[in-house]
Amino acid sequence: MSAPLKDITPAERARSTSFHEASARTRLELLLDAGSFVEFIGPEQREVSPHLKIFDLPEQFDDGIVVGRGRLDGSPVFVAAQEGRFMGGAFGEVHGAKLTGLLRAARQIALIPVLILFDTGGVRLQEANAGELAIAEIMRAVMEARSAGVKVIGLIGGRSGCYGGGGLIAGCCSALAVSEPGRIAVSGPEVIETNRGVEEFDSRDRALVWRTMGGKHRRLLGAADVFADDNVQDFREAALELLGLIGSFGLDSLKAEQERLADRLSRYGACLDAIDIWTAQGIACAETVPELPADQFIALADEIGRTSRDAR
């Protein structure tokens, strides 16, 4: 017997909603405390990209990103969610400026954390220069906010993954939660194949894409801190967990990150495939990792530990 819709608690709804499939607005609605979200420059303001019309492309009234404030377990947070279904969640001038403004406010207040729900292919081609520069400004704003004591958390599990400059912004965050479909990389599979040939990277080999760029590999590598199951409630809990774990940022964090990344290169720099890396990490039957259900994978990842804490 199914319960009437009104009897379903928000947590149950969030638990049964795929983060991957949901829109940016649904993700925010279910991630935050019920009814707490307030948008800044919402679609009613119609602040569209001034550049897409050059290419006769449709605009979207929010330019593919929703920014605002809300509450998480009662505490205030700033949030930004990219909409991967509009232009692949790519960064354009307006899209990027909304996130920059949010981060600048967070820096000034220095108390309220920022959650970024990435869902992006990177720079928006049709406004490539504006998009690239927007990403540079966001990276600077993230680091200025973190230096002022702000926690900046990235949640990655959207359709478009977190590619290009999005991957660099993710690398600037205090901590990341990622789900299996969340992919983090700079060059996408098709870009590598186009530039270097199918021998270098076969973009149609989906298993190869997942195990090279997908959430499980990123968690095992220490590129992401927490692995979330693909539902909004799990991302909410991951965000809360990370908010409690993040320490302060400073020169020591960068020195620790240098050591962490140099160590990764010396340990795994000669590995040809993710399975070789997982095997070198001491995982028995590494080839079965892609098939592991979330709970078993999380147990395995917890054994490997968190290499990235205080080192990013």
Partner 1 sequence: MTLDDILGSLFPDGHEIRKDKGVLLGWATPRCGEKMLVVGVADLTALGVDEAIRLSGHLLASIGRDSGPILVLVDSDSQRMSKRDELLGLNEFLAHLAKVLIHADMSGRPTIGLLYGHSAAGALLATGLATRVLIGLPGAYPAVMDLPSMAKVTKLSMEALEEKAKSTPVFAPGLSNLVQMGAVHMTWSNDVSLADQLKVLLADLPAARDQRDALGKARGGRLKAADIAERVRDLALQAL
User: With binding defined as CB under 8 A, does residue 33 bind partner 1?
Assistant: no
The DSSP secondary structure of 74-104, one letter per residue, reads TEEEEEEEE-TTSGGG-B-HHHHHHHHHHHH
- Contacts of 150 by beta carbon, 8 Å cutoff, 6+ apart: 106, 107, 109, 110, 111, 112, 113, 114
The C-alpha atoms of residue 268 and residue 270 are separated, in whole angstroms, by 5
Q: Measured between alpha carbons, how far is 163 from 176 in angstroms, rounded to an integer?
A: 14
Q: Nearer to partner 1 by C-beta: 198 or 285?
A: 198
310 binds partner 1 (CB under 8 A): no
Binding mask 59-88 for partner 1 (x = CB under 8 A): --------x-x------x-x----------
The span from the CA of 287 to the CA of 294, in Å, is 16
Size of site (CB under 8 A) for partner 1: 87
Q: Does 198 bind partner 1 (CB under 8 A)?
A: no
Residues composing the chain: 312
- Does 53 engage in binding with partner 1 (CB under 8 A)? no
The answer to whether residue 248 forms part of the interface with partner 1 (CB under 8 A) is no
Q: Which of residues 160-189 bind partner 1 (CB under 8 A)?
A: 164-165, 167-172, 184-187
Q: Amino acid identity, residue 266?
A: S
Of the candidate spans 13-21, 23-31, 95-103, 286-294, the one that interacts with partner 1 by CB under 8 A turns out to be 95-103
The yes or no reply on residue 307 touching partner 1 (CB under 8 A) is no
Residue 1 engages partner 1 in binding (rule: CB under 8 A): no
Verify binding: residue 280, partner 1, rule CB under 8 A: no
Strands 38-39 and 65-72, by their bridges, are antiparallel
